[in-house]
Amino acid sequence: MNETKNSNKSLDCKRSVSQGALTRRRFCADMITASAAAAFGAGLPASAGASSKVETERRIKIGIVGLGGRGKWIAGLFKAHGGYELAAAADYFEAVVQKQGEQLGVPATKRFSGLSGYKRVLDTGVEALVIEDVPCFYPEQASAAVEAGRHVYVAKPIAVDVPGVRAMEAAANKATAKKLCFLVDYQLPTDAGNQEVAKRVRDGALGTLAHIYSGGLSSRWTDPERESTIENLLRGGAWLSHVNLGGDNIVSYDIHIVDGVTWVMDKCPLGACGISRAVEKHHGDRTDCGGVVFQYDDGMFWTHITQALKNNAWIYNLAADFMGVRATAHVAYWGKIHIRGGPQHYAGSVSAGIYEDGAKTNIAEFYRCITGGDFSNPTARRAVEGTLTAILGREAMARKTFLTKDELIRENKKLKVDLRGLKT
């Protein structure tokens, strides 16, 4: 894909954000477990693959931060790739890092705990840091890694507030300048069917685009009562129920399809209006459901529905329809992907294994970029725009008003996290 002329100004929502086809968090236990073989197609580099161990030039020493559900799973995929050595690990909880570190073969002297465990991982001399813990900590951890001259592989969402997005953007820009790789693990754009639909949409297959409809429908998150500190909220996905820790549903979960729409559209909305509510009692402050309408500079709009209720809803879960005057396109994290009608009708394909295959493909791409010297870091630039769009949606829904992206950026509101009493 073409590089944007304003790569250092990606908070300008008019800037192009489609920066290549290769572009994350553990889904709830009751969501599907992906298992299909990797899909190859236009936009995927020949070196990317998800089905087997690959021939590698050398083994890259990596350290991982966060060994909860997804973290330990991702660590296993890095080991299975064949081109990495899991040399150090950290988790806030000592028992977790010891247990998972033992199973993953991390030397006992290279297992660290507490809030500053990631710093000790960096001190071991690893070449890259894999970040998989709680999103509110990502900007600090990624910035420290780049400052130390380490490559970064980070889960989604990259931040929970505008200052965090700015910090991640600065870290990604610095990574490129220092010839470091910075990859954000989004999976939907790695799928060949989604790539084909996106290509045809950009080629005008739908005619004039009228509007977009998308949704993120998750199950109810773990919601324990806070103890004397927030320590118990840092395990078992409990942080998903707290906006300051995880960003709320549209940021922590729906970001998959928010990123997908951002990727297909190659631009960002300028403003949004909406409403959200909590219909059940929570210890946390997350919302249960909401709707937001994003507005683009040409008058086109995008309606997104978000929900975190255990009510068996599924339609439009991490999927989007692009409605044109001649045809409609459907992209999705799973299920049928297609274009219906128009001159470029596409019967499509069925996506089933994006969760696992996409992660494997991204891990392979991370290896290719490091060993091949590709420091363009396209996923980082797009993640800045997608995360900012999700935050805009959250704030517009919470305030029940119309909010522009420029206003959101000028506010630069910081979500504070109470770290008192936590182990450093």
Within-domain flag for 93? yes
pLDDT in tens, 169-199: 999 999 999 999 999 999 999 999 999 999 9
Distance of alpha carbon 118 from alpha carbon 138, whole angstroms: 11
Distance of alpha carbon 78 from alpha carbon 66, whole angstroms: 14
What pLDDT shows up at residue 314?
84
What pLDDT shows up at residue 41?
27
Distance of alpha carbon 118 from alpha carbon 402, whole angstroms: 39
3-state secondary structure of 226: coil
Number of domains in the chain: 1
Distance of alpha carbon 326 from alpha carbon 305, whole angstroms: 24
What pLDDT shows up at residue 220?
75
pTM of the model: 0.88
Do the bridges between strand 151-154 and strand 319-324 make them parallel or antiparallel, or are there none, so unpaired? unpaired
Within-domain flag for 72? yes
What pLDDT shows up at residue 14?
40
What pLDDT shows up at residue 186?
96
What pLDDT shows up at residue 371?
97
* Residue 162 neighbours by CB under 8 Å, 6+ apart: 388, 391, 408, 409, 411, 412, 413, 414
Within-domain flag for 293? yes
pLDDT in tens, 238-252: 999 999 999 999 999
Within-domain flag for 4? no
Q: How many CA atoms lie within 13 A of 284 on its CB side?
A: 26
Within-domain flag for 148? yes
What CATH number corresponds to the domain at position 21?
3.30.360.10
pLDDT-flagged residues of the chain (< 50): 1-52
Within-domain flag for 348? yes
Within-domain flag for 420? no
Within-domain flag for 141? yes
* Closest by Cα among 118, 127, 85 to 104: 85
Do residues 286 and 228 make contact, with C-beta atoms less than 8 angstroms apart? no
CB count in 10 Å sphere of residue 416: 9
* Domain that residue 255 falls in: 11-413
